[in-house]
Amino acid sequence: MLVHRRLPIVLAALAVILCRSQSGAAQDTLPEKKAVLARLEARRNLEVAAIDRVKAAVVNIHSERTVQASAEPFTNSNRINGMGTGIVIDPRGYIVTNQHVVEDVNLLRIRLVDGSTYNAQVVSRNPELDLALLKIDAPQPLATMPMGTASDLMVGETVIAIGNAYGYEHTVSKGIVSAIKRDVSLNKELSYKSLIQTDASINPGNSGGPLINIHGELVGVNVAIRAGAQGIGFAIPVDNMIRAVAEMFRLRRRGFCHDGLIYQDFLERADDGIVRLVVVNRVETNSPGASAGIRPGDVLVKVGAVKIACSFDVERALLDRRGGDAVPVVLRRQNQEQHVELVLVSADRASAKQTPLELVWSKLGMHLAPIATEQVARINRQLHGGLEVTAVHSESAAAKAGIRKGDILVGLHQWETLTLDNVLYVLNHPDWSNFQPLSFYIVRGGQVRRGWLAQSN
Q: Give the start-end residues of each E strand in 72-115.
A: 77-90, 94-97, 107-111
Residue 452 CA to residue 454 CA, distance in Å, equals: 7
The DSSP secondary structure of 161-203, one letter per residue, reads EEEEETTEEEEEEEEEEEEEEEEEE-SSS-EEEEEEEE-S---
Question: Which of 56, 64, 60, 51 shows the shortest CA–CA distance to 164?
Answer: 60
**Phi and psi torsions of 358, nearest 5°:** -65, -40
Query: Which ranges of 319-372 would DSSP assign to H, the alpha helix?
Result: 347-352, 356-364
Q: Pick from 439, 423, 308, 294: which is nearest to 366 by CA?
A: 423
CB neighbour list of residue 29: distance below 8 Å, 6 or more residues apart: none
Give every CB contact of residue 16 below 8 A, 6+ residues apart in sequence: none
Nearest residue to 386 via CA among 364, 408, 360: 408
Element of type H or E holding 130: none
199 given a catalytic annotation: no
In angstroms, rounded to a whole number, what is the distance separating the alpha carbons of residues 75 and 66?
A: 12
Distant-in-sequence, close-in-space partners of 111: CB < 8 Å, separation ≥ 6: 59, 60, 61, 62, 117, 169
100 catalytic? Reply is: yes
Catalytic residue among 62, 124, 130, 433: 130
* Residue type, position 98, single letter: N
Q: Which member of 207, 287, 396, 456 is catalytic?
A: 207
Phi, psi dihedral angles at 149 (to 5 degrees):
-145, 150
- 62, 63, 90, 100: which is the annotated catalytic residue? 100
Residue 147 is classified by DSSP as B
Verify whether residue 207 is a known catalytic residue: yes
Active site residues: 100, 130, 207
